[in-house]
Copies of this chain bind each other. A is one copy, B any other.
Amino acid sequence: MLDYWNDYPELQKNLIEVKELISQRLVINNPSIEEAITKFSSTGGKMIRPALFFLFADFGDKKETDQLIKIAASLELLHSATLVHDDIIDDAKTRRGMLSIQARFGKDIAVYTGDFMYTSYFELLAESMSDTPFLLKNARAMKKILQGELTQMTCTFNPDQTLCEYLRNINGKTAELIRLSCHEGAYFGGSDKNIQARAKRIGSSIGLAFQVYDDILNFSIELGDEKKPILTDVQQGIFTLPLLIARDNQPDIIRPYLETPEQLSKTELRQLASYVTEFDGISGALAFAEKSTHKALKEIQQLPDCDGKEILASVATQLLTRKY
């Protein structure tokens, strides 16, 4: 998936190094977990968090490459660990178009695989930032991410979940880590406090837009042949922005679907998906994501000029036109 960054060879080179470091660290004396990790890494994601980290590091003048690679790797590892454990909770069958670790190897292996990723993450932090305030920030970010997952879990199958609750959940489970990635990039790249504060705000906006867009993709029946399965969220009782907007617009029609979503037939799910489009769920969520992206772009324009600035703006825009 790193060919996503083909147009940015320098960034891509850094991300390849991050991937190599992660592979080196995730060596373990257990054949099943070794295999689980290899499978997980080979289908790897776009590494958006490390990418944003490097782009923000570009605004500063410190270039301790080893340290930057380690910190970028820590961000991806934390993300991976949460994915592996979340798939256990969601009973997710697939991840990145492949069987999830828990579906392929069982929950037991998935628990330890995630734990092992957490220990490697923690080890990288201890090696790269022990004398900085970011150690504590990492611990607290980890807590917020978990809290986001947990409140999402509490909200599942609740047909009365509010937009506000939804936003709070995604602010924790997704935006927090993207915000941290941007903030750490600015800090460890050597930028001043103003740029650091801006990086945090940009990270928040990108993070929210990113998750909302992800949730929109889950509703796009036109994307039926794409890697992601459709309406899986709804069946698991996870009600996201497009659905919640449509429900608020047409409660009489939408709400009944949310009572026992796990029992909906394929036909009913397709019907629901088209209702969500019809009652402005998709367009409303897209408008939210676009607004959040524009907020990020506006802040990016106010950053000092550097190579990374233009790339950053393109990346923020691209994330809202991706198909998976």
* A interface residues, Cβ below 8 angstroms from B: 28-31, 33, 85, 88-89, 107-108, 111-112, 114-116, 118-120, 122-123, 125-127, 130-131, 135-136, 138-140, 142-143, 146-147, 149-151, 153-154
Contact = CB atoms under 8 A, between A and B. Distances in A.
Contact of A85 (B112, B136, B154): B112
Nearest to A25: B143
A135 B146 contact: no
Contact of A143 (B123, B140, B153): B123
A89 B108 CA distance: 5
A33 B142 CA distance: 17
A139 B112 contact: no
B112 A89 contact: yes
A-B pairs with lowest CB-CB distance, top 6: A123-B139, A126-B136, A30-B150, A126-B135, A122-B139, A89-B108
- Oligomeric state, in number of copies? 2
A26 to B, nearest CB: 11
Contact of A138 (B89, B115, B126, B131): B126
Query: Secondary structure at chain A's binding surface: helix, strand, loop or mixed?
Result: helix
A81 to B, nearest CB: 9
Contacts of A127: 136
27 contacts: A28-B150, A29-B147, A29-B154, A30-B150, A30-B151, A85-B112, A88-B108, A88-B111, A89-B111, A108-B153, A111-B114, A112-B150, A112-B153, A115-B118, A116-B146, A119-B142, A119-B143, A120-B143, A122-B122, A122-B138, A122-B139, A123-B136, A123-B139, A126-B136, A130-B130, A130-B135, A135-B135
A301 B28 CA distance: 39
B135 A119 contact: no
A47 to B, nearest CB: 22
Given A89-B112, A112-B146, 14 more contacts: A28-B147, A28-B150, A29-B150, A30-B151, A30-B154, A85-B112, A112-B150, A118-B118, A119-B143, A122-B142, A123-B140, A126-B135, A126-B136, A127-B136
A154 B135 CA distance: 34
Contacts of A85: 111-112, 115
B112 A126 contact: no
A116 B115 CA distance: 12
B123 A107 contact: no
Given A89-B108, A131-B131, A139 B119 contact: yes
Contact of A119 (B89, B125, B146): B146
A31 B150 CA distance: 10
A150 to B, nearest CB: 4
Contacts of A114: 111, 115
A136 B115 CA distance: 17
Nearest to A108: B89
